[in-house]
Amino acid sequence: MNPFALVNARTIAEATRTSATVAGLMAGSGGSPASDVSIVKAGGIDLLDLMKETLLSPDRILNLREIPGLDQIAVKVDGLRIGAMATLAALAGHPFVRDHFKILAHAAAASASPQIRNVATAGGNLLQRPRCWYFRAKEFHCLKKGGDHCFADNGENRYHAVFDNDLCAIVHPSTIATVLMALGASVELVDARGMTRKVGLAEFFVSPSVDLTRENNIGNGEILTAVEVPSIRAESRCAWLKQGERDSADWPLADVAVVLDFDAEDKCARATIVLGAAAPAPRRARSAEALLVGRKIDGAVAMEAGRAALDGATPLARNSFKLPLVETLVRRAISQAAATPG
């Protein structure tokens, strides 16, 4: 790792003076480490990994930890405002989040390990870069890093995407993103002119077909200041399920968040189903959602929806094992949500 200066930003305005995003730097570096730049650090878990892997060599790191208030989790009349610097542990342990946004607390608590959750922040988690091992190894100058080849295509692709994987088969690495997307959350971004924009997560995450080199549309000099989550409707019932190779300290092989609304006859009036670790961005399972609306949910309907969640799947040579995993998680999450008291 190269020597670097660590500078504490005291205000958001100071932080927005940083020159570039990590994605921009890595794509522009032609495969060699970028130099003479500053980059922002939240918990530093992913940033330092990239530096240790010598994929990134900034001269200055701008620490966001000292900016007052950026780690606050605030309860609002219309939902929740999660400061970008709130840690996953704070999110998982917040009494209001545990009572009123149970699936979010659950997903935060099931991410990584206790030590990592104590440091990793909500903002950094949404902005972490993918875990594809070719991407993480400097020997492989793949498409995502500006090269001309996807090594996962004919390589070791067991942990890769089963949807939207024709150009680049990463899966989105954020576990809380699956739940936040199902809850209709958005991010707040502030730029160097002090302008604020609010972007729904569905628009924030970027598919490889839109831009291969990045996973989201945060701009140069922009700081993610908060995640806003609307209140969950009284008639909504929710579930989040994850399957990993082991129970802790690892990313899911697949996860799914389900939010169902029911009418007076106990028929499904609205359904949102989001698949995690399945595609380059958290993915709405639209066919499964459509199949539920207007119907009472029983085991057979949940099973049909599980199968429908696989519509459009294009598994790679080594990851078709994910399909029954996704199908089962969707079926179980629907049944679990439907059985939750409204």
Ligand X SMILES: Cc1cc2nc3c(=O)[nH]c(=O)nc-3n(C[C@H](O)[C@H](O)[C@H](O)COP(=O)(O)OP(=O)(O)OC[C@H]3O[C@@H](n4cnc5c(N)ncnc54)[C@H](O)[C@@H]3O)c2cc1C
Site string for ligand X, 63-102 (x = CB under 6 A): -x-------------------x------------------
Give 110's contacts (C-beta < 8 A, 6+ positions apart).
175, 242, 248
Alpha helices in the chain (DSSP H): 12-15, 22-28, 45-52, 88-93, 95-100, 102-109, 114-117, 122-127, 133-136, 175-182, 201-204, 286-292, 299-308, 322-339
**116 touches which of ligand SF4, ligand X, none (CB within 5 to 8 A by kind)?**
ligand X
123 scored as a contact of ligand X (CB under 6 A): yes
Listed in sequence order, the residues at least 6 apart from 24 whose beta carbon sits closer than 8 Å to its beta carbon are: 213, 214, 220
Which residue in the set 152, 226, 313, 333 belongs to the binding site for ligand SF4 (CB under 6 A)? 152
Tokens of 282: 């958290």
For residue 274, what is the enclosing H or E element? strand 268-276
The residue (of 37 and 291) whose beta carbon lies closer to ligand X is 37
The dihedral built from the CA positions of residue 245, 248, 249 and 255, taken in this order, carries a sign that is positive
**Residues contacting residue 275 through CB under 8 Å, at least 6 positions apart:** 163, 178, 254, 255, 256, 282, 283, 284, 285, 309, 326, 330
Helix (H) or strand (E) holding 237: strand 236-243
Residue 45 interacts with, from ligand SF4, ligand X, none (CB under 5-8 Å by kind): ligand X
User: CB of 191 within 8 A of CB of 222?
Assistant: yes
84 binds, among ligand SF4, ligand X, none (CB under 5 to 8 A by kind): ligand X
Which of residues 94, 106, 129, 144 is near ligand SF4 by CB under 6 A?
144
Site string for ligand X, 154-193 (x = CB under 6 A): -------------------xxx------------------
Q: Which two tokens stand for residue 40?
A: 């922002």
Q: Report 259-318 residues binding ligand X (CB under 6 A).
A: none
> Applying CB under 6 A, which of residues 170, 227, 239, 288 lies at the interface with ligand SF4?
170
Applying CB under 6 A, among 9, 12, 25, 39 the residue interacting with ligand X is 39
User: Exactly one of 223, 277, 279, 330 binds ligand X (CB under 6 A); which one?
Assistant: 223
Task: Rule CB under 6 A: choose which of 33, 43, 280, 282 binds ligand X.
Answer: 43
**Among the listed residues 12, 110, 169, 206, the single contact to ligand SF4 using CB under 6 A:** 169
- Footprint on this chain of ligand X (rule: CB under 6 A): 22, 39-47, 64, 84, 111-112, 116, 120-121, 123-125, 127-128, 173-175, 223-224, 249-251
